[in-house]
Amino acid sequence: MTDPVEMTEIWRGPVAESVHRGHAVICDETGALVEAWGDPQATVLPRSSAKMIQALPLLESGAADARGLTTEHLALACASHQGAEIHTSRVRAWMDDLGLTDNDFRCGPHMPKDEQAQHALIRAGKAPCQVHNNCSGKHAGFLTLARHMGQGPEYVEPDHPVQKACLAAFEETTGETSPGFGIDGCSAPNFATSLHGMGRAMARFAAAEEGRSARDGAAVRLREAMMAHPDLVAGEGRACTELMRACTEPVALKTGAEAFFVAILPRRKMGIALKIVDGGTRAAECTIAALLVRLGVLDADHPATRKFMNAPITNCRGIVTGTIRPSIALL
């Protein structure tokens, strides 16, 4: 087993004050490793970085077309959104079309991360609803699939046909038998695989071609929806949204909790997966930016890049006290 390697450093003046270590892989269209750092065989829970895989059965089953889902719906099915109005209004409309209510979700409520939405709830004296959950789009997709399959309402249970379909898609795209699962923050099973498996899956999304197979067609539609609607995939100020907009060619990006990140690069037919072992989001964002710069699809000096890579750290007076920078191994 290979130890995690230094990926992101936090500098204060002339001193590297903190170091984040992790694992990362870049895979080609065959699933082979192009480059790797740390241990490609490390077992990981990809968390929300797996949402595109979890959305495959929604399309392959015919449920998406039967309900007339648009690219906005598909982007939301892959999203970890901010709970802003552009997100919640669309998910509410989706649920209305299904004839369902907020009570039919099984993701649980949490305060939206969007500041305006937070303030609106506080001013109104209202508690957040489940639609504000960052995974509500994914869960609307699950409910759409469950309705299409004629299955029961407890769609997050591991033995529910919806989750069985997600597991099958997960194992087929990663090319590995999952060793198990953990329950995600939104209550759905999150299946484990190797980091190489996730990189392989993202490369398969990148290399997919319309008309070649049902799986390829679904993968193309999902990645294209993400790239068409970066604002729905995450939200303003978020790394997924800002870096997708900044890339010099179409790239689909998706973060996951506990410092996971993936990228789909269709023109290069490559996939990236990375995990920062201490769960530090700032390091995952810096590392994915560095890898995109390394591959030449992101300008190191783009203002969006500089928010996450070589980003200044300021104190309460606005004085720059340090930087978040990638380790030399990534440059």
Is the pLDDT reported for residue 229 higher than 80?
A: yes
Mean pLDDT, to the nearest integer, of 263-267? 99
Distance CA 276, CA 8 (A): 9
- Please report, for the domain that includes residue 262, its CATH number: 3.40.710
Q: Which of 7, 54, 50, 76 is nearest to 328 (CA)?
A: 7
Is the pLDDT reported for residue 187 higher than 90?
A: yes
Half-sphere exposure (Cβ direction) of 256: Cα atoms closer than 13 Å: 22
Domains contained in the chain, number:
1
Our separate counts of H helices and E strands in the chain read 13, 12
Q: CB count, 10 Å around CB of 57?
A: 25
Q: What percent of the chain is predicted at pLDDT more than 70? A: 100
3-class secondary structure, 151: coil
57-73 tens-digit pLDDT: 999 999 999 999 999 99
Torsion sign across C-alpha atoms 39, 42, 44, 46: positive
Mean pLDDT, to the nearest integer, of 171-197? 98
- Band of pLDDT at residue 331, cut at 50, 70 and 90: confident
Element at 73 (helix H, strand E): helix 71-77
* pLDDT value of residue 74: 99
129-139 tens-digit pLDDT: 999 999 999 99
Distance CA 68, CA 52 (A): 19
136-149 helix and 85-98 helix, angle to the nearest 10 degrees = 10
DSSP 197-231: HHHHHHHHHHH--TTS-HHHHHHHHHHHHHHH-HH
Is the pLDDT reported for residue 119 higher than 70?
A: yes
Q: Which two tokens stand for residue 197?
A: 């498996």
283-328 tens-digit pLDDT: 999 999 999 999 999 999 999 999 999 999 999 999 999 999 999 9
Q: Which domain holds residue 142?
A: 5-330
Mean pLDDT, to the nearest integer, of 41-46? 98
Is the pLDDT reported for residue 1 higher than 80?
A: no
